[in-house]
Structures are given as structure tokens and as C-alpha cells.
Amino acid sequence: MLRSLAVAAIALALTAPPVLAASKPAISLARTSKWEINYDEDSCHLLAKFGEGSQSTILRITRFQPDNYFDLTLYGMPVKVNFANRLPVEMQFGGQKWNRPLAMVGDAGKQMPLLIFSGLRLDDWIYSSTPAPDVSPAQEEAVNSISFKISGGKRYRLETGPMNGPMVAMRACTTDLVSHWGFDPSEQARLSQPPKPLGVISDWITSADFPKKALNQGSSGLVQFRLDIDETGKVSGCRILYRTNPDDFADLSCKLLTQRAKFSPALDSAGKAVRSFYVSKIRWQSAW
């Protein structure tokens, strides 16, 4: 049997066209904890717990830089599935349209299933060739719940309350994160141009680079990284911000990105080349 594989460098997880949610009423899960903001070394996490007992669910929103996008992780028995890989999951923010973002299945240990979503926003903007607008505080305030339904399962609604307050705390954390990395947050926020990749991004890492051991085992992984870019556009450092699998993928990702990634430098508000950073992710995936 022949094995095929795909390795792609991606900035966002694209959503499918909106779909209609099931007609059955959602199971409402009240928030049972305060919102907590965690200042990690390379990321910011916003967490809260919903529901009790077998329906207890933890929501975690993660950002790896100041941005309108975030990753969302759900922990608990309501997200349990009987198989790994991708699966249809319907999701809704507040009263917006239902969508089907790409979901990755995992396990946090001690029989704690989880689902991971990448590249989400708190508005209903659909990916296109035009630049994405900023998510406004009013749009964040309008989102007072997050609903989800796994294919064939029940529909749940997490009663978050207005999300503008928690997202203010998230922005404060990501500003501090940039400072922690050794950059001036105000300068980075006013860049007239961020670092721009040169050439074809998909050439940075190709299917030929897939680790032989991982290929033989059918392993896959998601690696979030940060590249530090100097005033000449050269990659001066690579940092793994998050990984879903062993170091085979993470270490190789940084090695290849440092060798192959090329950029034009960031420009400050006056058009002067300055140090900056580039955050993205790589999905290492093999398939028979």
C-alpha cells in the first residue's frame, strides 16, 4: 500500500461555509468559575469552567501574539469522541451563524478528552483575499455564549457572558508577551509593514522533510513557532511556542525554518527597517 503525506505551513485554519445546527435545544452550561488569565512564557491563556459533574467543561482561549485570531481548546466529557483525526464540529459565537471549524482531537490525560480549534475570531468574518478587519470591543461584547455540537452528539452552550472584559485582559497579556520577548510593544503595534515572507512559504518545509520514524508510525503533529527577524530580514532566532507531538517535529521545524525562511524586514511608522517577529504554525500530517 502506498503512503501519501502532506506538510503545510499555515497561518489560519479555514472554516467551511456556515451550516445549520441541530433543531434540538442546546444544553446550557453556566460558568462555574471566574475567568483566569495565564501569562505563560510564550503564550497567553484565558480559561473558565462551565457546568458540573459529567458535563463539566473547561474552555481555554490562547493567543501567541497580539492578534484578532486565537486557538480554542475544550476539555471535558462533552467533547469525547470515539476516534481520533478530524471530525465535523459545529460552533457558534453568540448569535452569529453556525460554522464548522477544523477540529483536532486529543487527550489531556486522566480520561480528559479535548478538542483544539485554530484560527478563530469573535466576529463572523469569513476568510477572503481582502485584509481582515479588527474585531471591535462592541463585537466582543455581543458574544455572550459559545455553542458547539460534535457530529452525532448533543449540542452545548457555554454561558460565557459578554466577552469584551475577558478579551481586554487577553490584550494586556499579549502586550506584555511582546515586551517579554525583547521588543517594544508600541513600536510593533505601529509597524507600517510587518516582516514579509519572500518566495513560496510552502517551500520552507516539504513532504520530503517528514521524519522517517514519524512517517513509519503514521504520526502527525502541529507546531506553533515564532521567528525573530532582524533589520536585514534574516531569521535571527526560532522559538517553539506550542507542540502537540514529540520533539521530532519541533526541533526539525526550527532547524529547517532557520535555514530556509527568508523575509523582507519590518518597517516602523517612519519606514525604517526594525527588528520584529513572525508567528505561524506547521501541520505535519501523514496519511495512508
87 belongs to a structural domain: yes
pLDDT recorded at residue 104: 80
Confidence of residue 86 (pLDDT cuts 50, 70, 90): low
On whether both 226 and 245 belong to a single domain, the answer is yes
3 belongs to a structural domain: no
Confidence of residue 286 (pLDDT cuts 50, 70, 90): low
Q: Give me the CATH number covering residue 250.
A: 3.30.2420.10
pLDDT recorded at residue 18: 47
Confidence of residue 152 (pLDDT cuts 50, 70, 90): confident
Domain final position from 180, 207, 225: 180
* Interior/surface letters 184-214, b for 16+ CB within 10 angstroms, e for the rest: ebeebeeeeeebebeeeeeebbeeeebbeeb
Q: Which residue is it, cell 497561518?
A: 11
Higher pLDDT, 258 or 6: 258
pLDDT recorded at residue 123: 93
- The amino acid at residue 207 is S
Q: Residue 130, SS3?
A: coil
Above pLDDT 90, what percent of the chain?
Answer: 60
The Cα 144–Cα 80 span in angstroms is 24
On whether both 20 and 41 belong to a single domain, the answer is yes
1 belongs to a structural domain: no
- Judge whether residue 179 has pLDDT over 80: yes
Q: Residue 240, SS3?
A: strand
Overall pTM > 0.95: no
- Judge whether residue 2 has pLDDT over 80: no
The bridge status of strand 155-159 relative to strand 27-30 is parallel
- Judge whether residue 84 has pLDDT over 60: no
- Residues 7-33 have pLDDT tens digits of 333 233 333 444 444 467 899 999 999
2 belongs to a structural domain: no
All three cell numbers of 81: 469522541
All three cell numbers of 229: 527577524
What's the DSSP call for residue 205?
S
Confidence of residue 221 (pLDDT cuts 50, 70, 90): confident
**Ramachandran angles phi, psi of 201, nearest 5°:** -60, -35
On whether both 145 and 168 belong to a single domain, the answer is yes
For the chain, first and last CA: distance in Å?
8
On whether both 169 and 228 belong to a single domain, the answer is no
Confidence of residue 190 (pLDDT cuts 50, 70, 90): very high
Q: Residue 242, SS3?
A: strand
- Judge whether residue 166 has pLDDT over 70: yes
pLDDT recorded at residue 246: 67
- Judge whether residue 275 has pLDDT over 60: yes
On whether both 192 and 210 belong to a single domain, the answer is yes
In the chain, the number of structural domains is: 2
Choose from 126-140, 160-174, 213-227, 236-250 the range with maximum mean pLDDT: 160-174
The Cα 191–Cα 111 span in angstroms is 45
Lowest mean pLDDT among 13-17, 222-226, 245-249, 265-269: 13-17
- Judge whether residue 237 has pLDDT over 50: yes
Name residues whose C-beta falls within 8 Å of residue 26's C-beta, 6 or more positions apart in sequence.
147, 149, 155, 156, 157
Question: What single string gives the DSSP state of each residue in 1-50?
Answer: ---EEEEEEES-PPPPSP-PPPSSPPEEEEB-S--EEEE-SS-EEEEEEE
Mean pLDDT of the chain: 86
The Cα 82–Cα 174 span in angstroms is 36
Domain of residue 22: give its range: 8-180
